[in-house]
C-alpha cells in the first residue's frame, strides 16, 4: 500500500515518537510518499534542509498541479458549506492525496476525516479510533 505521509508522520518518525517505528515495522509493505506541502511545513518548522532531504530521500515529491488545485477548490467549498473547515495546508495535502488516489497517513485524524472521499490511515494515539 502506498500512502501520503502528513507532516506529523515525518516529524514523529524522525523523533521515534507515537509508535511510528512500531507502526512502520508492523506495516512493512507500506510505502510512505511525501509532497511539497509537507516539505514546506517542515522547512517552516525550522528543520534544516539536510534534515528534510534525509527524511524524503531521493524519491519524487508529489506536487500541486491544475487538477489538484481544482480538487482543493471543490473540497474547500464543500467543507465551508458544511461548516467543517480544516487548515489550508491540510486541505492541500488532502487534495494531493485525492488527486493520486492515496490515503493520508496521520495522527491528525480529526482534521483529515472531515474531507469527503479521503481515506485516513491513523497511527499512534489519535483523537479518533481509526486504525489500519
User: What's residue 48's pLDDT?
Assistant: 81
pLDDT tens-digit readout, 17-60: 999 999 999 999 999 999 999 999 999 987 788 888 888 877 77
Residue that has been written with the C-alpha cell 508522520 in this structure: 9
Mean pLDDT of 85-110: 96
Global pTM value: 0.90
Mean pLDDT score of the chain: 90
123 to 95, 108, 110: CA distances (angstroms)? 20, 9, 13
* pLDDT band at 130; cut points 50, 70, 90: very low
User: What's residue 58's pLDDT?
Assistant: 76
Least confident of 29-33, 63-67, 91-95: 29-33
What is the full DSSP assignment across 13-35? Answer: HHHT-TTHHHHHHHTTT-EEE-B
Asked if 4 and 104 count as a contact pair (C-beta separation under 8 A), the reply is: yes
Q: Is 62 exposed, middle or buried (0-12, 13-18, 19+ CB in 10 A)?
A: buried
Domains (range + CATH), the chain = 2-122 (3.40.50.1010)
Widest pairwise Cα distance in the chain: 41
User: What's residue 129's pLDDT?
Assistant: 39
Amino acid at each position: 500500500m502506498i500512502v501520503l505521509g502528513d507532516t506529523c508522520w515525518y516529524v514523529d518518525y524522525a523523533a521515534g515518537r507515537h509508535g511510528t517505528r512500531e507502526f512502520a515495522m508492523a506495516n512493512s509493505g507500506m510505502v510512505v510518499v511525501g509532497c511539497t506541502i509537507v516539505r514546506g511545513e517542515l522547512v517552516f518548522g525550522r528543520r534544516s534542509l539536510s534534515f528534510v532531504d534525509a527524511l524524503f530521500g531521493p524519491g519524487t515529491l508529489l506536487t500541486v498541479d491544475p487538477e489538484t488545485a481544482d480538487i482543493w477548490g471543490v473540497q474547500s467549498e464543500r467543507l465551508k458549506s458544511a461548516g467543517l473547515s480544516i487548515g489550508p495546508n491540510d486541505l492541500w495535502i488532502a487534495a494531493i492525496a485525492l488527486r493520486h488516489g492515496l490515503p493520508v497517513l496521520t495522527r491528525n485524524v480529526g482534521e483529515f476525516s472531515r474531507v469527503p472521499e479521503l481515506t485516513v490511515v491513523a497511527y499512534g494515539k489519535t483523537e479518533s479510533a481509526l486504525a489500519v
